[in-house]
Amino acid sequence: MEPVGPGGEAVLDYAVFDAKRAGFEKFVFVIRRGIEQDFRNFFGRRFAEHVDVAYAYQELDMVPSGRCVPPGRAKPWGTGHAVLSAAPSLDRPFAVINADDFYGAESFRVLARFLMQSAPANPDLFAMVGFQLDRTLSAHGTVARGLCQTDGEGYMTSVEELTAIDNQPGGVRNKEADGSFRSLTGREIVSLNCWGFTLGLLDGLRRLFGEFLDRNAANLKAEFYLPTAVNVLIQERRARVKVLPTPCHWFGVTYREDRAVVTESIRALVRAGEYPERLWG
């Protein structure tokens, strides 16, 4: 809800604006009930004047039948769980994005074209908008990105969630779970959770979430990452994912200190005529 636009808009305003222009018709916001009133006051009223709005609630009690919430678990299980929370509101091919990431208008256009042209006839074919890693880093701390490998036709062969990437004077690196560092070039293609799916994703996601809960009953901080689940479906040959390159530069408010950069970047896009001074008039 941090305002970054000249009219007080947040990053999410620009995502909704770009997605609507690209042809998306329905918008499902996955939130916690604890922030519902603030969210509705800040976003809901103005969005409802322009797009079809629905709400989904990601809460701890949303687990598969027969499973229990581990005692001591404090928060929900991350991005894969968020998609499952939205499942009752999904009735057509859909995109998944983060609310605090600015993806750029072209990212939504390529995703919309893919979903309209390819998804209806291919229920197991998904898409991911791929960004170049060095265009997605924060100067104020580490970021989590899905590191992608592709074949010669641009289909994903694997995606690995790296959770502590930063840019040091010696280059880009990720801090591994054992405390060591993996060097990266910065030219790798990464996922920023800008996905295109069919409803065919949901059965596999439900199964994998149940298996995840069984494995992590004692791990109270484990997260069910969407890229990790997609990777499993790829390895099982239950899904194919087309990587859609984008020329857009990412920016987002991962840290409060990022706000100044995001604000100036948006003002530059407004000056260039890519967005109106006030998005919603």
pLDDT of residue 35: 92
pLDDT of residue 44: 87
Whether the per-residue pLDDT at 71 is higher than 90: the answer is no
Give the distance, in angstroms, between the CA of residue 66 and the centroid of all CA atoms in the same chain: 29
pLDDT of residue 70: 86
**Where in the chain are the domains?**
11-271
Whether the per-residue pLDDT at 182 is higher than 90: the answer is yes
DSSP code per residue over the chain: ----STTS--HHHHHHHHHHHHT--EEEEEE-GGGHHHHIIIIIHHHHTTSEEEEEE--TT---TT--PPTT--S---HHHHHHHHGGG--S-EEE--TTEE--HHHHHHHHHHHHHTGGG-TTEEEEEEEEGGGS--TTS-EEEEEEEE-TTSBEEEEEEEEEEEEETTEEEEE-TTS-EEEE-S--EEEEEEEEE-TTHHHHHHHHHHHHHHHTTT-TT----HHHHHHHHHHTTS-EEEEEE--PPPEE-SSGGGHHHHHHHHHHHHHTTSS-SSTT-
The pLDDT tens digits for 239-257 are 999 999 888 888 888 788 8
pLDDT of residue 242: 96
pLDDT of residue 139: 85
Q: What percent of the chain shows pLDDT beyond 70?
A: 100
Q: Give me 262's structure tokens.
A: 């995001």
Contact of 222 with 212, CB cutoff 8 Å: yes
Compute the Cα dihedral for 179, 176, 249, 103 and give only its sign. Answer: negative
Whether the per-residue pLDDT at 66 is higher than 90: the answer is no
pLDDT of residue 159: 86
How far, CA to CA in Å, does 141 sit from each of 171, 240, 257, 273?
14, 33, 10, 31
pLDDT of residue 86: 97
Architecture of the 11-271 domain: Alpha-Beta Complex (3.90)
The pLDDT tens digits for 137-180 are 888 889 989 899 999 999 999 988 898 999 988 899 999 999 99
pLDDT of residue 119: 78
Strand partners, 155: 242
The pLDDT tens digits for 93-134 are 999 999 989 999 999 999 999 999 987 788 999 999 999 999
Q: Give me 171's structure tokens.
A: 């280059």
- Antiparallel, parallel or unpaired: β 181-184 and 171-175: antiparallel
Of the candidates 155, 194, 160, the residue with the CA atom closest to the CA atom of residue 19:
194
pLDDT of residue 149: 93
Average pLDDT, whole number, for the chain? 92
Residues 6+ positions from 167 with CB-CB distance below 8 Å: 134, 137, 139, 186
